[in-house]
Structure 1
Amino acid sequence: MTAAPAPRRGRPRSERAQAAILHASAELILDHGLGDVSMDTIAERAGVSKATIYRWWPTKEALALDALYTEWEPPEPTDTGTLRGDLLDLLLPWVRLVRARPYGRVIGTFITKAHSDPGFAAEYVSRVVEPRRDAARALFARAVERGEIPAGTRVEVVLDLLYGALYHRLLHGHLPLTDGFVADVVDLALDGVHGHTGSEVRRADDRPQS
């Protein structure tokens, strides 16, 4: 009889260890806040050595960013047939996730550090901010292709209007971040998009100075 091939070693174990570290990090940071969680605590919860964590993440903050990205990893953009439907399909699952746990506290910590640490700021943008904006950009590009919105739509401004409103409620907590609020924000932003042709939409720096 031919002997069965030996099980592969190394990579599957590494992947399991990384997944355990990311999960442990997310749980601890959400439960206690970034400042009160140490690498030792994460290692103990994940069942790995601290040296194993440092093999992949040089700092606690870098690990926290990856843990958050794993929690928030945007899905593949779906095609509901309309930009409104696509945006709701993208934004509503994220909003339901962030309002279920104290994500606002974690994001607030990240933003504070980003304002004092340019290196961390660049990592925060590339690992947390841009992936979600990229997913939304794909929806706008598809809407342009099917002729639903003008080719000259200022997509970056619209994304700031959408995410800015959601983050405002998430961070300040002055009013609830509800599904209805998400729908209202999407509708108002798209009212602005549909109310202009591409040639009528001004660049921010073209506005008259007061």
Structure 2
Amino acid sequence: MTEASATVRRGRPRNEKAREAILDVAMGALLAHGVAAMNMDVVAAAAGVSKATIYRWWPSKETLAMDALYRTWESAPAAPDTGSLRDDLRNLLWPWTELITRRPYGRVIAGLLGQVLTDPDFALTYRARFLDQRRDHGRMILQEAIARGEIPARTRIETVLDMLYGPIYHRLMHGHAPLDRAFVDDIVDIVLDGIRPPTKPEPCHDTTDPETP
């Protein structure tokens, strides 16, 4: 072994640096133009790599887009356990909602969903990355609430998760109204009003004097 080969190289390996450069450029292109209009020649040139290098790691622009988006969204903080279903759900939804509203991610998601509908293999990977992990956390929160007696054991957890996330995606995709903290709080309150058992009314005490005519 030569002295040169024994020297520990500083910094990241060249391949990793190239990969991150590609993902950075791709994310910028996706936010600016969407998935369909992203040009792989332009991405390669801006990242300082050949197009063959990109296709060696990503077989399609959709898989590159998925990796670029995942790298950005995985930075959303984990929700702490507060012991309150309402607070746990707010802490689950708001940090992620705040993250996805910082930049125009709706056009990226729209492009990826188009591929989900036509490519079963891509759909499996997409769901594992963007749906399953987040739903697993939400599922755990609801199961713990059932164990505490906050909501009934018969609660349809998968439907509740759709009701929580669906409105956020709806506004993200259509852009017709703001995705803000008040909206997230409304979602949680409305969903909980629907699944929690009704509060028993206070008994009515007749204060009328029975001998009064």
TM-score normalised by structure 2 residue count: 0.78
1:91 and 1:51, CA in 2 relative to 1: closer, same or farther beyond 3 A?
same
Q: CA RMSD in A?
A: 2.6
Answering whether residue 128 of structure 2 is matched by residue 123 of structure 1, we say no
Given the alignment, which residue of 162, 173, 176 partners 1:174? 176
Q: CA deviation at 1:10?
A: 10
Give the whole-Å Cα distance in 2 for the aligned partners of 1:40 and 1:144.
Answer: 52
Give the whole-Å Cα distance in 2 for the aligned partners of 1:60 and 1:83.
Answer: 40
Matches within 5 A, 1:1-210: 6-8=7-9, 12-73=13-74, 74-195=76-197
Q: CA deviation at 1:161?
A: 0.3
AA paired with 2:119?
D
Give the whole-Å Cα distance in 1 for the aligned partners of 2:11 and 2:40.
Answer: 23
SS in 2 for 1:35: coil
User: Which structure carries more helix by proportion?
Assistant: 1
Tell me which moved more, 143-152 or 15-24. Answer: 143-152
The answer to whether the Cα contact below 8 Å between 1:80 and 1:86 also exists between their aligned partners in 2 is yes
Structure with the greater alpha carbon radius of gyration: 2
Give the whole-Å Cα distance in 2 for the aligned partners of 1:157 and 1:173.
Answer: 24
The answer to whether the Cα contact below 8 Å between 1:161 and 1:189 also exists between their aligned partners in 2 is yes
Give the whole-Å Cα distance in 2 for the aligned partners of 1:156 and 1:122.
Answer: 18
1:66 and 1:7, CA in 2 relative to 1: closer, same or farther beyond 3 A?
same
TM-score normalised by structure 1 residue count: 0.79
1:78 and 1:122, CA in 2 relative to 1: closer, same or farther beyond 3 A?
same
Give the whole-Å Cα distance in 2 for the aligned partners of 1:165 and 1:108.
Answer: 15
SS in 2 for 1:53: helix
Give the whole-Å Cα distance in 1 for the aligned partners of 2:20 and 2:154.
Answer: 42
Give the whole-Å Cα distance in 2 for the aligned partners of 1:30 and 1:150.
Answer: 42
1:145 and 1:112, CA in 2 relative to 1: closer, same or farther beyond 3 A?
same
SS in 1 for 2:62: helix
AA paired with 1:129?
L
Tell me which moved more, 11-20 or 67-76. Answer: 11-20
SS in 2 for 1:27: helix
1:46 and 1:140, CA in 2 relative to 1: closer, same or farther beyond 3 A?
farther
Give the number of aligned pairs.
194
AA paired with 1:134?
D
1:76 and 1:88, CA in 2 relative to 1: closer, same or farther beyond 3 A?
same
Tell me which moved more, 161-170 or 103-112. Answer: 103-112
The answer to whether the Cα contact below 8 Å between 2:77 and 2:95 also exists between their aligned partners in 1 is no
The answer to whether the Cα contact below 8 Å between 1:153 and 1:193 also exists between their aligned partners in 2 is yes
